Structures are given as structure tokens and as C-alpha cells.
Chains A and B, each alone.
Chain A
Amino acid sequence: MEKALELFLGVLTAVGGFVEIGELTFSLNAGARFGYHLLSVIALGTVGIIVYCEMAGRVAAVAGQPVFNLIRERVGVSLGAVTLVAALAVNILTCAAEIGGIALVWQLLAPIPYRAWVAVALVFLLVAVWVLPFKWIERVFGLGGLLMIVYLVVAARDVRDWAELLAGFIPSAPKLESTSQYMLFAYYAVALLSSVMLPYETYFYASGAIEDKWTPADVPINRVIVIVGFTLGSLLAVALVSLGVTVFDPLHIEPQVPGVAALPVALAFGKAGLLVALAGLFFAFAGAAIETCLSGAYSLAQFFGWPWGRFRGHASAPRFTIAWIATFVLAALLIASGVDPVTVVEYSIVFSVVILPLTYFPLLLVAGDPRVMGRHVNGRLSSWLGWFYLVLVTITALAAIPLLVLTHGGRG
């Protein structure tokens, strides 16, 4: 039973990565603008994040090494510091957007000003991470994130042509009117791949494995967790793309506020469905906020060799504790300044892709090193897939910023 509950580490990591506020709007817009054509990118990214999180969990279980330890060890302090700074910036930006997302969702439930809800969200998150042991953070927010399944139900109900949906998993480009629209399509492909393979997912997952005190005996369950967790997250992203196609495209809506995502559920199941849909959004955004905040604190502590982990207690890991509290506070201040959460996270996702190759390469080297991994070293398939995705994310990293600029920040 205890092992079965470990699944929630995968569920929380995946829901926090796949249906956070940025992926939510990217997925809905991808469907509304390009039909099912970008489903192949979600499928491609899902296999990629499964491959790299499996490696991160395996290295954590066998060598007891989280991702930022490996980055510092393999590329040195100065080059590793560049990755650290970029990763921290992305984590704070994403965390800020998720806090803004929580406030926007709560505003849909009770008419209190946005900034007041931001303050309440900050206090809620601080208390949740302070009070709950890591296992309970996994379980509460992983289980709550499962409420997002209501979107899957509505999407499945609304699909008009299953053959067309399934064809979307075969890579193809739609027929578009202009070069600028093809560039927008490429931008969405890059952004969706990045939002599925967000680097903080590997930082959080590997650190979570150490929080959960995994040993080499947990290598098989690690495989199950990543496959089940990320496949579920991927299905939710597919459901959002599908709702974009069936609900928003015919009405010429490119969703800009997160609450719009709940409308198809309200139209299908009425007010009760609406409340479940909003609760799902809340748990997904809160899970992502905790994931990004703790990832930032883990990265910092692991890079500088400080004691870290929720399992140690606050007094035994004081700098780690200060780091996650400071991350939440900085993120809340940033979002309370009035910046739009959706815009913030869209930029943060595109910038995330830039640090993907810098995160994955050291991981790939260690997972393939028999001196460190012994009999748990990368097999032929893991190794081949690892190199394939490293090349892919490197090309994507080089294209991300130029595409962002050429498409007017992804607006067309």
C-alpha cells in the first residue's frame, strides 16, 4: 500500500508540470488555433519527460544524487552557476504565475480583490509546505489534481471525430495561410514541448525520490511511477487540446484567462461540474506552485551543498527553509505587482527550454556511467532515447527565443 501511494509523487510532478497555468492556456490555444496537429508534440514530449525523469529517479535511488549535485559535479561551479541562475529565475517566474492562477481561480468562487487573494494564496502555500510532511504534500496535491479528470470526461464526450483526433498523434503541419502562421505553429510546438518537459519536473522528482528515501530496490517502482504519472498528465493535456478544438475553435476563442477552461465543464454538468473543474484548477496550480518553489530551494541547496529536504525538519536545514520561504514571498510580490500570470508563465516556459539541454546532459552522463550506476546503468533504449531527446531539446533551445520574437511573443 505504501509503495502504491508513492505513485502520487509521479502524479503531483506530472499534474504540476502538465496542467499548470501555462500549459493550460498553451494546450487550449493549440487546439483552438491548430486543431489536433500538435498532439504529436505532446506525445513526443511525454516520452521525453518519462525518459529523463526515470533517469533522474534511478540516479537518485542508486547514487543518492539529485540533479543539481550532478550539474555542479559534471560541468563545474562557474558553468553550473549559469544553469542555476537561469533555473532559479524560471522557477520564481513560474511560481509567481501559479500563485496568480490560484488567486484568479479563487476570485471565481468569491468576490474578493485579486491582490487580497494573492496574499491569502501566499499564506496558504507557506502553511501547507511548513506543516505537511513531504509524503502528505504529494498525496494531498496529487490526489486533488486528479479532479482535473473532469476535463478528460468532458473532452471525451465532446469529441466529434476520433479518427481525426488519433491522426493528430502522427506528426504533421496544418495547411495555413501565411509564413507568419507557420512560424506561430512552430512557436506553439516549441512551447508545448518545453511545457511538457519543464526542467523543474526533473529537479522536483529526483529530490522527491530522496525525500521519500528511495533505494536501488525502488528502481522498478520508479519506472511504474513515471509511466503512470506522466501518461495521466499527458492525457489531461490532450483533453485540453481537444476542448480547444471542439469548444473554442468554432467560437473563435483563444482563451486568455484560466477560468474560461472551466466553461465547457459548466456547460456540460452545470454548477456542480463548474465547482469540480475550479477545484481541479486550484489543486493543479497549487501543486505547480509548490513544485516550482521547492525545486528552486532544492537546486540552490544542492548546488551549494547545504543540508536540504523537508524530511530533515526546518531547524536542521535552515538555509533550505529560508530559500523556499523566500521563493514563495518573491513570487507573490512579483505577481501582486500586477503583471499578468498567463503572460509571465508563457515567457517562463519559453525560457525554460533554454536550460533544458543544460539540465539533461549531466543527467544523461551520470545515468550512463557504470562506475556510478553499477547494474542500473542506462540500457541501450534509455541511452538511445536520452541522446535523441538531448539533440531535440538543444535544437528547440536554439529556436525558442527567435520564434518568440518573430511571432510577437506568440500572438501571431
Chain B
Amino acid sequence: MKRATRWTRFAHRAIAVSVVAAMVVAAVPLLHRHSDSAPLRLATADLRSQAAEAALVARAWDSRRATGAFTRAQAEQLAHRIVDARSDVGRAPVELSQTAGSVEAIADALLVAVRDLEALPAPDDSGRRGDRLAGLADGLGAIERALARTE
């Protein structure tokens, strides 16, 4: 019992120290938030992934391999996340406002395309819908890489 108690007490303290250290580390960037491009890069990465996910959903729908209920619900779930990520872009620091504007423009086009998919358009054998969404993902990916280089 004594051995277990001693060890558990040590583990509690060690974990508490690591949590406090993490909080200190977390607090430091808050002091320099205005120059940190990481939040914009992360929001752009989320949008890029959502655009690519939407392209895959569109391809499954257009090739008649996904049901209507699945496609509609996937598009709806993605649309909610796109709206969230777009609002994160809006909080970008002033010096990145031009880049943020470009991301917002693509996010708006992405949201329109996903809402269109949610309405279950007739399947398109040419695969253009998926290609267009993949193109938006590529555009966002290029911005994301440029932001990563500035960090």
C-alpha cells in the first residue's frame, strides 16, 4: 500500500507539473498573437481538407456509388465546418488581410459548391463537379504552403 501510495502521489505531482508547463507554453504566444500566422494557416488547411473531402463525396455521388441521404448529410456536415473555418479566417491579423481575403473568396466558392451538392443535383458522369472542388482544394493548398514558409 505504501509503495503504491508513494508512486501515485509522485505521478500526480509530475503530471501536474507537466500541465502547468504546458499552460505557460500556451500563454507565451498569446503575448505575440498579432504576428502569428499559424491560426490562418490552420484555418486554410482545414478548408483545403474540406474541399478535398467534398470532391471525394461529389465523385462518389456522380459515379452513383453513394446514396442521396449520405451525400446530402456529408455535404451538410462539411458545410457547417466550412462556415466555422471561414469565421476563423476572418480573425487573421491585419498584416495578413490580403491573404485572408483570398482564402475567404475560395471558402465562399467552396460553400456554394457544397450547398449545391447538398441539394442533390443530377449525377454528372463527366466528373467536372469533383474536379472543380479539387481545384479549390489545390488553390487553398498553395496558400497554406506559402503561409507555412513565413512561419
Which of the segments B5-13, B94-102, B103-111 contacts the partner chain? B5-13
Q: Which of B1-59 contact A (CB under 8 A)?
A: 1, 3-5, 7-9, 11-12, 14-15, 18-19, 21-23, 25-26, 38-39, 41-42, 45-46, 48-50, 52-53, 55-57, 59
Q: Establish whether residues A274 and B67, one from each chain, have CB atoms under 8 Å apart when the complex forms.
A: yes
Is B56 within 8 A of A263, CB to CB?
yes
| A254 lies within 8 A of chain B by Cβ | yes
**Is B53 in contact with A256, judged by CB distance below 8 angstroms?**
yes
Minimum CB–CB distance from A395 to chain B (whole Å) comes to 10
Which B residue's beta carbon lies closest to that of A394? B11
Q: Is A326 an interface residue, CB under 8 A from the partner? A: no
B66 and A266: CB pair below 8 A?
yes
Q: B73 contacts the other chain (Cβ, under 8 Å)? A: yes
A-B contact pairs, 9 of them (CB 8 A): A74-B1, A74-B4, A75-B1, A251-B55, A257-B53, A260-B53, A260-B57, A362-B4, A408-B42
Please pick, from B7, B19, B57, the residue contacting A401 in the complex, using a CB distance under 8 A: B19
A358 sits at the interface (CB 8 A): yes
Interface of B is mostly: helix
Q: Which residue in chain B gives the minimum CB-CB distance to A104?
A: B77
- Give the docked Cα–Cα distance between A194 and B36 (Å): 31
**The 9 A-B residue pairs with the shortest CB-CB distance in the complex, in nearest-first order:** A74-B4, A402-B22, A405-B22, A75-B8, A253-B52, A401-B22, A107-B73, A405-B26, A254-B49
Interchain CB contact under 8 A, A263 and B4: no
Interface of chain A residues 71 through 109 with chain B (CB within 8 A): 73-76, 79, 82-83, 104, 107-109
Once the chains bind, are B60 and A411 in contact (CB under 8 Å)? no
- Report the separation of the CA atoms of residues A76 and B141 in the bound assembly, to the nearest whole angstrom: 54
The residue from A253, A256, A259, A354 contacting B70, defined by CB atoms under 8 A apart: A259
* Docked pose: A108 CA to B3 CA in angstroms: 52
Q: Give Cα A389 to B123, complex, Å.
A: 52
Q: A110 CA to B41 CA in the complex, in Å?
A: 35
Q: Give A contacts to B, CB under 8 Å.
A: 73-76, 79, 82-83, 104, 107-111, 177-178, 180, 251-257, 259-260, 262-263, 266-267, 270-271, 274-275, 278, 354, 357-358, 361-362, 365, 394, 397-402, 404-406, 408, 411-412
B141–A252 touching, CB < 8 Å: yes
**Is A252 within 8 A of B48, CB to CB?**
yes
Given A259-B77, A404-B22, are A253 and B42 also a contact pair (CB < 8 Å)? Answer: no
Whole-angstrom CA separation of A397 from B12 in the bound complex? 10
Binding site for A on B (CB under 8 A): 1, 3-5, 7-9, 11-12, 14-15, 18-19, 21-23, 25-26, 38-39, 41-42, 45-46, 48-50, 52-53, 55-57, 59-60, 63-67, 69-70, 72-74, 76-78, 81, 134, 137, 141, 148, 151
Closest Cβ neighbor of A106 among chain B residues: B73
CA distance A130 to B11 in the complex (A): 38
A74: B residues at CB distance < 8 A: 1, 4-5
A412-B45 in contact (CB<8A): yes
Instruction: List, in ascending order, chain A residues with CB within 8 A of B66's CB.
Output: 263, 266, 271, 274
- Write the chain B residue with the least CB distance to A354: B15
Cβ–Cβ < 8 Å partners of B63 in chain A: 267
Q: Which residues of A contact B14 (CB under 8 A)?
A: 394, 398
Do residues A398 and B48 form an inter-chain contact, with CB atoms below 8 A? Answer: no
Contact A271 B67 (CB under 8 A): yes
The reply to whether B25 and A252 form a contact with Cβ atoms under 8 Å apart is no
Contacts of A76 in B (CB 8 A): 1, 5
A266 to chain B, nearest CB (A): 5
A362 to chain B: which residues have CB within 8 Å? Answer: 4
The answer to whether A398 touches B18, judged by C-beta atoms less than 8 angstroms apart, is: yes
B76: which A residues are within 8 A, CB to CB? 107
User: Is A263 in contact with B81, judged by CB distance below 8 angstroms?
Assistant: no
Question: Apart from A75-B5, A411-B46, what 16 extra A-B contacts exist at CB < 8 Å?
Answer: A79-B5, A107-B73, A108-B73, A177-B148, A180-B151, A254-B49, A255-B53, A256-B49, A267-B60, A274-B65, A275-B67, A365-B4, A398-B18, A411-B42, A411-B45, A412-B42
User: Inside 8 A of B65's CB, which chain A residues have their CB?
Assistant: 266-267, 270-271, 274
Given the contacts A108-B70, A259-B70, A260-B53, A79 and B45 also touching, CB distance less than 8 Å? no
